[in-house]
């Protein structure tokens, strides 16, 4: 689960015009670029940054939902949520592996996440306060992620595209799982329904922000579009998302918390009110409710696990040495 | 028999819950995927056993009524499974010890006179075999790894030693189920279990701890303090909305 | 930390009769852990029948810079393909 809104990628590149033109021709011909192929430095850097951010988002994204595994209100929901959060870990793993084909290690990427150099999707800096948040995240956050990830399956970089195909296949249950939780709540007691509306109120705007700044303010979009790392603009995807989810909210009997959200016959889509970009940038830059806790939790897992990782490596060396000694006898 | 199945179901739910606490916090991403698989194995088995226990009780309680609306004195799990996760060494050793007991248990339960128990056994025996393999791999690596990991594995072994015995004790309810051919005799599984454990410990270059004392009481609902907190957390949402559907 | 946990490539055969296909990579300290991890990471939805894990460092790959000399020479050897040969339709399927 993740959406676009790549932050701070540097697409500058200083290869010769001939090289860049030849590369662009391959991209335009819809050829996939594979890890060992010649590629502009800016393309490589953008991908490392984007795939890394995407992977980090999956990993940090395990935390807000993981917060409810131990409190899931039925055993069926507990099992489904556990399997879903496990999937997010898997998706992070596939993505780290895709980035590793470009010559950066998982350890390096992890260190960048932990020391704040690398970003992750800002949505995960919001807290999950009730069980309805789990439904809403599955429905809206995974819904937004799917909108973004389906075009990424056609991304020009082979390993990223292949990872996304696997991710999309697995994620198809995530959004349905979330929406089913919402349906059950909305057909339940008044308290459950209130819980659902409250969760929608808190997650609606952050979900819209997941698509990133408006096209006019999105600095890195053009180059990424030209290189077919990205296939649709932020606003296009956001519009698609709103058009899909507003009727779903109505079906639930819930109201999106935007008085300006209205069907616009002329454009064939919904209008929406202004997005609070100050909040977006504040949360991106560390001013969300959970930023510090999220990174602290990841750092604790990484630091606490160091002795385990080291022991496994030392054991492997010992075994190799014993095998060699036995062979020498 | 209702009570005997409840003991077994509680073992699996409490352990599954404990293991699930790791999700998102494991030492490496690969283990963030492995641990939920172990937790899901346990929770899946618990669900099937609760369903059967509820049927036998005949009071209309389903898996969730049994899991979410019984208090800590009504939980009948053994003390081993409620032990806190501790570090990765303790979690892996607890999993190994439990799985090394359950795998031969389910193998024997394939002959159970109860259809539902046989059904659970067929699936669970394979899951527990894999749990033994994976947890065993880690016990070996941590036992024979660095000085730190060896020390931690020894500490885990000491911490859990008092709780192994309870696996082999049968409550009166369980003795009845054993006599009726519904469940295998727990005491009879000891030799097999000890063989597996000693074998893993030997590979891990660890001494098998001779138990100096053992702690029981779980089957009568006498637990440590940790279980109450585990249940308070697990049941909080369900209990705040009695009668609700999720 | 002494160094980084090695990278492995994972190949899975879904069922007998198919070949093993590359499905992705993972990190593990040794082959047994790599195999376990491959099971937990890549066969959660019944994709598995048989797994191979290979240290990524053990793979020798052809060099994209030599693609032309490696692969182009095969392209004009059209006599290796059945359609190169004219057989009258009357002969029937061959």
Nearest 5°: phi and psi at C7?
Answer: -95, 140
Cα A232 to Cα A152: distance, rounded to the nearest angstrom: 10
Tens-place pLDDT, residues B44-90: 999 999 999 999 999 999 999 999 999 999 999 999 999 999 999 99
Whether A66 and B146 lie within 8 Å, measured CB to CB: no
B179 CA: distance to closest CA in chain A (Å): 31
Q: How far is CA B44 from CA A26, B76, B125, C45, in A?
A: 50, 18, 13, 15
Is the Cβ–Cβ distance between A189 and B241 less than 8 Å? yes
> In the prediction, which pLDDT does B103 show?
98
Tell me: the pLDDT tens digits for C9-57?
999 999 899 999 999 999 999 999 999 999 999 999 988 889 999 999 9
H or E element at residue A269? strand A269-271
Q: Tell me: pLDDT of B4 over 60.
A: yes
Contact (Cβ atoms closer than 8 angstroms) between residue B3 and residue B175: no
Q: Confidence band (pLDDT; 50, 70, 90) for A25?
A: very high
The tally of CA atoms less than 13 A away on the side-chain side of residue B209 is 19
Please, which pLDDT band fits residue C69 given cuts at 50, 70 and 90?
confident
Q: State which residue of chain C sits closest to A164, comparing Cα positions.
A: C24
In A, minimum Cα distance to C39 occurs at A90
The complex's ipTM works out to 0.97
- What's the angle, vertex CA A209, arms to CA A205 and CA A212, rounded to 5? 170
What CATH number does the domain located at B2-208+217-240 have? 1.20.1260.10
Q: Residue A91 has which token pair? A: 């998706």
**Rg of chain C over CA atoms, in angstroms?**
21
C-chain CB neighbours of B130 within 8 Å are 39
Residue keyed to tokens 């697990």: B234
In the stretch 113-172 of chain B, residues with CB closer than 8 A to chain C read: 130, 133-134, 137, 141
Q: What is the pLDDT of residues A170-216, one digit of tens each?
A: 888 999 999 999 999 999 999 999 999 999 999 999 999 999 999 88
Mark which residues 18-47 of A lie under 8 Å from B by CB. none
User: In Å, how far is C17's CA from the nearest CA of chain B?
Assistant: 24
Handedness of CA B103, B104, B105, B110 (dihedral sign): positive
SS percent in chain A: helix, strand, coil, step 5: 70, 0, 30
Three-state SS string over B210-239 comes to: CCCCCCCCHHHCCCCCHHHHHHHHHHHHHH
Percent of chain A predicted with pLDDT > 90: 86
What pLDDT is attached to residue A11?
62
Q: What gap in Å lies between CA B104 and CA B128, rounded to an integer?
A: 9
Nearest-CA distance from C61 to chain B in Å? 26
Strands in chain C per DSSP E: 7-13, 21-27, 50-55
Mean pLDDT of B13-20: 98
C40/B33 touch (CB, cutoff 8 Å), yes or no: yes
What is the set of domains in chain C, with CATH numbers? 1-60 (3.10.20.520)
- Token pair listed for B45: 């088995």
Contact map slice: C 15-74 vs A, CB within 8 A: 23-30, 33, 41, 44-45, 61, 63-65
Q: How far is CA A170 from CA A54, A76, A146, A183, C26, in A?
A: 16, 19, 11, 22, 18
pLDDT for C2 beyond 50: no
């Amino acid at each position: 689960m993740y959406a676009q809104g790549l932050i701070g990628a540097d697409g500058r590149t200083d290869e010769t015009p001939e090289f860049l033109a030849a590369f662009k021709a391959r991209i335009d011909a819809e050829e996939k670029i594979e890890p060992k192929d010649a590629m502009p430095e800016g393309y490589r850097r953008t991908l490392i940054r984007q795939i890394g951010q995407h992977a980090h988002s999956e990993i940090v994204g395990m935390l807000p939902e993981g917060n409810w595994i131990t409190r899931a209100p039925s055993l069926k929901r507990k099992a489904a949520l556990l399997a879903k959060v496990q999937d997010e870990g898997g998706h992070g793993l596939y993505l780290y592996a895709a980035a590793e084909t470009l010559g950066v290690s998982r350890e390096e990427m992890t260190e960048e996440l932990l020391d704040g150099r690398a970003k992750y999707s800002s949505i995960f800096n919001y807290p999950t306060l009730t069980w309805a948040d789990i439904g809403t995240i599955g429905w809206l956050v995974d819904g937004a992620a799917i909108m973004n990830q389906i075009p990424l399956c056609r991304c020009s970089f082979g390993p990223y595209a292949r990872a996304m195909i696997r991710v999309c296949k697995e994620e198809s249950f995530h959004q349905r799982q979330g929406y089913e939780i919402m349906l059950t709540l909305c057909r339940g007691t008044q308290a459950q329904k209130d819980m659902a509306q409250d969760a929608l109120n808190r997650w609606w705007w952050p979900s819209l922000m997941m698509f990133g700044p408006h096209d006019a303010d999105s600095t890195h979009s053009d180059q990424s579009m030209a290189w077919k790392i990205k296939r649709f603009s932020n606003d296009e995807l956001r519009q698609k998302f709103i058009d899909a989810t507003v009727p779903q909210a109505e079906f639930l009997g819930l109201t999106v918390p935007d008085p300006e959200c209205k069907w616009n016959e002329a454009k064939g889509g919904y209008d929406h009110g202004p997005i609070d970009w100050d909040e977006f940038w504040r949360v991106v830059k560390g001013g969300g409710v959970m930023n510090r806790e999220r990174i602290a939790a990841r750092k604790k897992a990484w630091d606490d696990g160091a002795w385990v990782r080291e022991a496994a490596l030392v054991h492997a060396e010992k075994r190799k040495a014993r095998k060699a000694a036995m062979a020498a006898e | 028999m209702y009570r005997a199945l409840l003991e077994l179901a509680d073992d699996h739910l409490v352990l599954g819950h404990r293991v699930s606490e790791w999700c998102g916090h494991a030492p490496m991403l690969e283990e963030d995927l492995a641990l939920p698989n172990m937790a899901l194995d346990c929770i899946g088995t618990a669900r099937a056993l609760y369903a059967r226990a509820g049927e036998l009780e005949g009071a209309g309680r389903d898996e969730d009524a049994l899991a979410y609306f019984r208090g800590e004195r009504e939980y009948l799990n053994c003390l081993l499974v409620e032990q806190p996760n501790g570090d990765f060494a303790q979690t892996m050793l607890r999993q190994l010890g439990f799985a090394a007991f359950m795998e031969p248990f389910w193998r024997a339960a394939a002959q159970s006179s109860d259809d539902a128990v046989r059904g659970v056994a067929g699936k669970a025996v394979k899951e527990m075999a894999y749990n033994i393999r994976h947890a065993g791999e880690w016990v070996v690596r941590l036992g024979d790894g660095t000085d730190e990991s060896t020390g931690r594995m020894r500490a885990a072994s000491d911490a859990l030693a008092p709780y192994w015995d309870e696996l082999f004790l049968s409550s009166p309810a369980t003795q009845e189920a054993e006599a009726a051919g519904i469940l295998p005799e727990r005491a009879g599984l000891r030799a097999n279990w000890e063989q597996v454990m000693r074998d893993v410990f030997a590979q891990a270059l660890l001494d098998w701890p001779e138990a100096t004392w053992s702690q029981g009481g779980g089957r009568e609902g006498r637990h440590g303090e940790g279980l109450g907190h585990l249940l308070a957390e697990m049941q909080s949402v369900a209990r705040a909305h009695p009668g609700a559907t999720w | 930390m002494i160094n980084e946990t090695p990278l492995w490539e994972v190949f899975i055969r879904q069922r007998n009769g198919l070949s093993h296909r590359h499905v992705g990579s993972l990190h593990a300290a040794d082959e047994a852990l790599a195999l376990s991890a491959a099971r937990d990471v890549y066969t959660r939805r019944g994709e598995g029948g048989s797994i191979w894990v290979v240290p990524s460092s053990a793979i020798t790959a052809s060099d994209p810079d030599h693609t032309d000399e490696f692969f182009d020479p095969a392209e004009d050897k059209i006599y290796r393909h059945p359609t190169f040969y004219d057989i009258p339709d009357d002969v029937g399927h061959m």
